[in-house]
Amino acid sequence: MSLSTRSLESETGQLIMLTDQTETRLLQGQVAHYQRLSEMGRMMASWHIRSVRRCRRLCYTRVILLSRVCRQISRLSLLAKLNHGWKIWSIRCAICWCLPGETRLDDRLTLAQLFRDIEDALDVPLAAWDADCECINAVPDLQLQCNKEALLGALMNLVENSLQATGKGAELSIEASVLKERLCLMVADNGPGMDQEQCRKVLEPFYSTKSHGTGLGLAVAQVVAKAHHGEFVLVSELGKGTRAAFLLPYEKDANVSS
């Protein structure tokens, strides 16, 4: 209840007024209650938004980490498959190319075409070893009669040997030029190199410095070179890297300066 008084204008005395405030107090209580609920709602909404943002950032970070891990696993898995494939290819070539009638040179292509295939094949091993390879083709129009699969496989086997010898961050080069009337396809690295004795031994079949190696890579390279009526040359020096090259005949009608 509220009590109020008023003076009478025309007569003496006062007017006493009693007002029932029950309904007003109820309305004020409800308004206060709703205000508290509204404030709690804003607090909960703000907390929820912050939680969602934190969860989103956490999920995004985990997705990024997971994607990086998956890419790394994928690269390692692909590299393992590729390495396994090269080993099987080496054994297959060592058998097939030594059999009579298997030395078929059915592919006729330019060095520009060959280098496109080389650059495509380099993507996976270079990414796996975080390495770089400079492809230098000084004779893009020169034409070669060859077995492309065998020659490309032998070149990539040399690349893998260089990557394994040099390690992460290797710097390689693949260069095509004409040397004394023959095509020179050379793979060079900046690895530790070898002395003359080790350089001689690695050319022997089944000799390998790696525990998981077949010892057939360079032996097959020599067989492939001979099948192309050329030769395989290996030059290495301790502390200065290694150079491996195929010296092959080419189509003489091409305008190439030696």
In whole numbers, what is the pLDDT of the chain averaged over residues? 79
Give Cα 173 distance to the centre of its chain. Answer: 19
Instruction: Return the number of other C-beta atoms located less than 10 Å from residue 195's C-beta.
Output: 11
**76 pLDDT band (50/70/90 cuts)?**
low
Name the nearest CA neighbour of 225 among 242, 205, 244, 207. Answer: 244
CA distances in angstroms from 140 to 91, 154, 159, 166, listed in the order given: 31, 20, 21, 29
Q: E strand or H helix at 111, and its extent?
A: helix 111-129
Q: Which helix (H) or strand (E) holds 95?
A: helix 22-96
Mean pLDDT of 178-198: 93
- In 86-230, DSSP assigns E strands to 107-110, 132-137, 143-146, 171-179, 182-189
- Tens digit of each residue's pLDDT (9 = 90 or more) over 208-225: 766 566 667 788 899 899
Distance CA 202, CA 199 (A): 6
Q: Which of 63, 66, 189 is nearest to 125 (CA)?
A: 189
191 vs 130: CA distance, rounded Å: 14
Between 153 and 44, the more confident residue is 153
CA angle 177, 182, 183 (to 5 degrees): 40
Q: What is the dihedral of CA 131, 134, 135, 139, to 10 degrees?
A: -160
pLDDT of residue 100: 44
Tell me the average pLDDT across 73-102: 53
Question: 102 — phi, psi (to 5°)?
Answer: -100, -10
- Model confidence pLDDT, tens digit, residues 98-113: 554 556 888 999 999 9
Q: What is the mean pLDDT of residues 129-153?
A: 93
